[in-house]
Chains A and B, each alone.
Chain A
Amino acid sequence: MAAPNVRCTSRDQYPRRWAKTLKLELRGITKSFGTLVANDHIDLVVESGQIHSLLGENGAGKSTLMNVLYGLYSPSSGQILVDDVPVNFSGPADAMAAGIGMVHQHFMLVPVFTVAENVALGAESTSFGGVLNLAETRRKIREISTQFGFDVDPDALVEDLPVGIQQRVEIIKALVRNSKILILDEPTAVLTPQETDELMDIMGQLKAGGTSIVFISHKLREVKAISDTITVIRRGKVVGSASPDASTTELAELMVGRAVNLTLNKADATPGAETFKINNLTVMNDAGQRLLDDVTLSVSQGEILGIAGVQGNGQTELTEAVLGLHKHVLGSITLDGKELVGKSVRQVLDSGVGFVPEDRQDDGLVGELSIAENLILDLYKSAPYSRAGTLNRAAIAKNAINKVAEFDVRAQSSQDAADTLSGGNQQKVVLARELSRPLKLFIASQPTRGVDVGSIEFLHKRIVAERDAGTPVVIVSTELDEVLELADRIAVLFAGRLMGIVPGKSSRALLGLMMAGLPVAEAQEQMKSQSESGTTEEGAQP
């Protein structure tokens, strides 16, 4: 498709850049990586001054599309038009010059730089001889910060800032560069519900100020709350658009491609004996910082305890400490009265702990090994899979055929390498392996991260089945929706401390306050005073 593209090298080609608003159009964008077609003839029009949502499952091709738009990838074919003028971005600098800004899912900030240095980078004001003049940048940051109520200190080091503030730094970065279209890639993934509300608020202000926004998400609730237009992408193709008043079920069907049951039908828990106990658990890093600070909790047989919290508040340390992966651990962890602290990983596993690590690709599977081999990763030493130090191939293959059928793993053959599977199927393999032993405790970290909706349903059912079989279950998830869906009780971690344990049906608003660092009593207090003054936000309930 050799359209007469304007190759842009300097800002002068963009007189419209200084106009109040921009219109953006994508025509037939195709991007393939080898044989994989990530984007297949995508057409999209973002009208000026609108919030346009891109809805799609993980891996549907949303981020690829935005990276094409931002000049990070060059499209295999297709055209981008800014205010009806075809453009060709050879890099992010061109996209920025055209008035497009992007807040990446993983922030593009240098941790050891200050806010001002990060904002200035690439668009520095300098005095004679290239000497940095950060005063000008600081002034601009303060100006934007005041305008939107950002509360950002230009001289703070980025690595010291909480994620929510880092995200604002990213937004400032785009605004300082006069972006008229702002792409937000899964911006709420790292935020508490309250921070998400604040972000929505900011998006509204930006829109009122004439900035168009492309909002990328897989969370239906958020997309419905904020969008003017919704475009749904599935497997690299636009499968339809919807208005924000479409029902959640309609959107989910469009996104997944078939009818989905969004609510899990589970019976109430019938808790038995409290067999898993954590007492005053403290985990430290080598520098002596407390990553987990004096946490006490217990889980009963036949009960799911959900652990909620924004990423990086001690959840990883909690699960790893149980498994025996941490060096500096104080306190005690008991299972059936037996102490686990100080035991080797092998001993912990042998005492009946099943563990799904949060990063399945790095910690849960050996990608180069076959599905069959991955299914016996922790059982390779025992009969019938090995005898006298020699693997029994036939038994391994038989086990694989059974497990693949039982867990509905979609694979050509169980002898294929595990990393040829999709995220959802990889997770099924991990779950199949961990649930194949008789368990006394099941811990799953981020059980459905990056997994398609269809597989989520299946995985959730298996976890509940394990609960109903009488195993104590611990679920760690940064997706509050998932915790609310599965958990019978919810523990909230913040900065390594336990903010409290509340019943599974608690409100999002209460959990959000706890995730932001309020102990349960204070959070309930604040909820009460708000409902009295009648300012409880709409949509704060699940």
Chain B
Amino acid sequence: MSIITKSETPKVADAVAVRSWKLPILLGVLAVFAVVVFVVLGPSGTATFRISQDTDAWQVPNLVVPAKAVGVLVSIICVALAYLAWRQTRDAGKIAKWVVMTFAVVFVVGMMVWIIGGTTTQNITLVGLFSGAMLITTPILFGSMSGVLSERAGVVNIAIEGQLLAGAFTAALVASITGNAYVGLFAAAVAGVLVSVLLALFSIKYVVNQIIVGVVLNVLVSGLTGFLFEKIMKTKVDGLTIYNQPAHLPNISIPLLSEIPIIGPTLFRQSIIGYFMLILVVALWFGLFRTRWGLRVRAVGEHPKAADTVGINVNRTRVLNVLAGGAVAGIGGAYFTLVAVSSFSKDMTGGLGFIALAALIFGRWNPIGAALAALLFGVAGNLQSILSLAGTPIDGQFLAMLPYALTILAVSGFVGRALAPAADGEPYIKE
């Protein structure tokens, strides 16, 4: 009955004409930088990467490389890749992914060798680099998982910083009073949920602008914990600040796995929070993309009205996810006071909650992507402290800035068009 013969639909998408020269220019500049810095200003001598610790069961020999030679090699590769990128942009309009990836890896290697060759000790412990990075990665990662939970359901969560801080404070206080770190951990989760209750109440029920609510919550938690810190935690009993001496969560080593070079000491000699983190990332990924719960959450975050018309309670889903996010971030906050350091101090989260937000975007709202981004930020942050200890000629303040510069680059340039859930930040109001 139908009289239409399906003609071949002309595709609208022949993306050619608008070329972006941003990337080839960036690569070109970096290649020139490599030539000037790694070769011309490059250190003579060697750079040593220590892979095993003295206590390890298996000893892997140290990696010793001549700094100048590596600098020359790296520069040649960088220049070649930048040229390739320029040609590909000219001919095809876009650059093959492997070119950018290889460039990034080679450049980072060159940078490391140059920096380490330039230090007074001329060596670096890779285990120290990565296991130390976990101190920064863990809170960022928990924070970004809180973000994944809430933003996938369509609620922008700027309050991660506040959730972390509330968790850190509560964990310290409760663990000090009860003398039990696990009770402190649980209390931290509850504190995170309480911050979330406010976020959910104002952004979902009273439809206040979600970004404003988030910012206000951060300030609120900072002020509140600061006040309580002064009033309670600084109180001395018998010369001791007994309300700020939390019991610690012990490290648990997993037999065999903890003996793998680099990975073992980094991932398998952690407290219970660290193992929970590993499980959380995988579970959240599986949950979001393979289960009914995840399908519904994503639908609510993408097209709430569509979800409503098939009988899904949009606002209940959102509230539950925001609350779950609060619990996760609260546990991440507990890491500060129960694992990383031994007491609470004012505003000790130091903006990591915002970096968590960046990791969330860099990881494209995907739990695994966000986890990798958190790891990257952690390593970059820790590299800075290790290098200043190793006596690098570069100014410490400048190095301290690098992870944040990286964050801006990552979030603005390389993510491309951000793939936020379509209804992220849009309240759902039924007529």
Chain A contact residues, CB within 8 Å of chain B: 33, 70, 72-73, 91-94, 96, 102, 104, 108-113, 117-118, 120-124, 126, 129-132, 162, 173, 194-195, 197-198, 201, 282, 284, 286-291, 328, 330, 494-497, 509, 512-513, 516-518, 522, 526, 530, 535-537
Quick check: is B272 within 8 A (CB to CB) of the other chain? Answer: no
Contact, CB under 8 Å: B312 / A122: yes
- Chain A residues, CB < 8 A from B15: 287-289
Size of interface on B: residues with Cβ below 8 Å to A? 42
A108 to B308, CA, bound (A): 9
Do the beta carbons of A123 and B310 come within 8 Å of each other? yes
The residue from A33, A121, A290 contacting B14, defined by CB atoms under 8 A apart? A290
Contact B310 A284 (CB under 8 A): no
Say yes or no: A201 contacts B1, CB within 8 Å.
Answer: yes
Q: Can you list 7 pairs linking A and B with CB atoms under 8 Å apart?
A: A91-B313, A92-B310, A110-B298, A121-B296, A122-B311, A162-B9, A291-B12
Give the shortest distance, in Å, between A348 (CB) and chain B (any CB): 23
Closest B residue to A112 using CB positions: B302
The CA-CA distance from A132 to B15 in the complex, in Å, is: 35
Residue B290, interface by CB 8 Å = yes
Q: Which residues of chain A are within 8 angstroms of B294 by Cβ–Cβ distance?
A: 132
Which residue in chain A gives the minimum CB-CB distance to B423?
A110
Q: Which of B3, B292, B311, B313 contacts A537 (CB 8 A)?
A: B3
In contact, A113 and B299 (Cβ under 8 angstroms):
yes
In the complex, the answer to whether B9 meets A287 with C-beta atoms within 8 Å is: no
CB distance from A187 to the nearest CB of B (A): 15
Of B14, B296, B306, B313, which is within 8 A of A109 by CB? B306
Q: Is B62 interfacial (CB 8 A cutoff)?
A: no
Assess the A132–B309 pair: CB atoms within 8 A. no
Residues of A within 8 Å of B417, CB to CB, are: 287
Q: Which residue of B lies closest to A131 (CB)?
A: B291
Complex contacts, B63 vs chain A, CB 8 Å: none
Instruction: Tell me, in angstroms, the Cα distance from A162 to B7 when the chains sit together.
Output: 13
Residues of B within 8 A of A108 (CB): 303, 305-306, 309-310
Which B residues lie at the A interface, using CB under 8 A?
1-5, 7, 9-19, 93, 290-296, 298-299, 302-303, 305-313, 417, 422, 430-431
Specify which chain B residues have a CB less than 8 angstroms from the CB of A73 in the assembled complex.
Answer: 431
Chain A residues with CB under 8 Å of B93's CB are 288
A288 B16 Cβ-Cβ under 8 A: yes
Q: How far is the CA of A513 from the CA of B11 in the complex (A)?
A: 17
How far in angstroms is the closest Cβ of chain B from A379? 36
What residues of A have a CB within 8 angstroms of the CB of B5 in the complex?
A: 526
Is A120's CB under 8 angstroms from B18's CB? no
A289 pairs with B290, CB closer than 8 A: no
Most A CB contacts (10 A, CB to CB) among B7, B13, B15 go to: B7
Q: How far is the CA of A72 from the CA of B308 in the complex (A)?
A: 8
Chain A residue at minimal CB-CB distance from B308: A92
CB–CB A290/B12 < 8 A: yes
B7, B295, B313: which has the most chain A beta carbons within 10 Å? Answer: B295
Nearest B residue (CB) for A516:
B4
Which residues of chain A come closer than 8 Å to B292, judged between CB atoms?
A: 124, 126, 130-132
Query: A111, B422: Cβ atoms under 8 Å?
Result: yes
Interface centre among A110, A162, A517, A522 (most CB of B within 10 A): A110
Determine the residue in chain B with the shortest Cβ distance to A120: B295
> Which B residues are in CB contact (< 8 Å) with A330?
17
- Our pick among A110, A173, A513 for the contact of B299 (Cβ within 8 Å) is A110
Residues B12 and A70 in contact, CB atoms below 8 Å apart: no
Name the CB-closest residue of B to A282.
B17
Please tell me if the beta carbons of B12 and A110 are within 8 angstroms of each other in the complex. no
Q: How far is the CA of A308 from the CA of B354 in the complex (A)?
A: 50
6 interchain residue pairs of minimum CB distance: A93-B311, A122-B310, A288-B18, A108-B306, A288-B15, A194-B4
Bound Cα distance A201, B1 (Å): 8
Chain A residues whose CB sits within 8 angstroms of the CB of B298 once the complex forms = 110, 113
Q: Which residues of A contact B12 (CB under 8 A)?
A: 289-291, 495-496
| Chain B hits for A328, CB < 8 A | 17-18
Residue numbers in A under 8 Å from B2 (CB-CB): 194, 197-198, 201
B173 to chain A, nearest CB (A): 36
Contact of A284 among B18, B305, B306 (CB under 8 A): B18
A495:B9 contact, CB within 8 angstroms: yes
B321 CB to closest chain A CB, in angstroms?
15
In the complex, given contacts A93-B310, A131-B291, what are 13 additional A-B residue pairs having Cβ atoms less than 8 angstroms apart? A91-B311, A96-B311, A104-B309, A113-B299, A120-B295, A129-B291, A132-B291, A132-B294, A287-B18, A289-B13, A290-B14, A512-B4, A517-B9
Q: Are A110 and B302 in contact (CB under 8 A)?
A: yes
Cβ-defined contact, A121 with B295, below 8 A: yes
Whether B291 and A121, one on each chain, are in contact in the complex, defined by CB atoms closer than 8 angstroms, is: no
Contact of A96 with B10 at beta-carbon distance under 8 Å, contacts A108-B305, A513-B4 already known: no
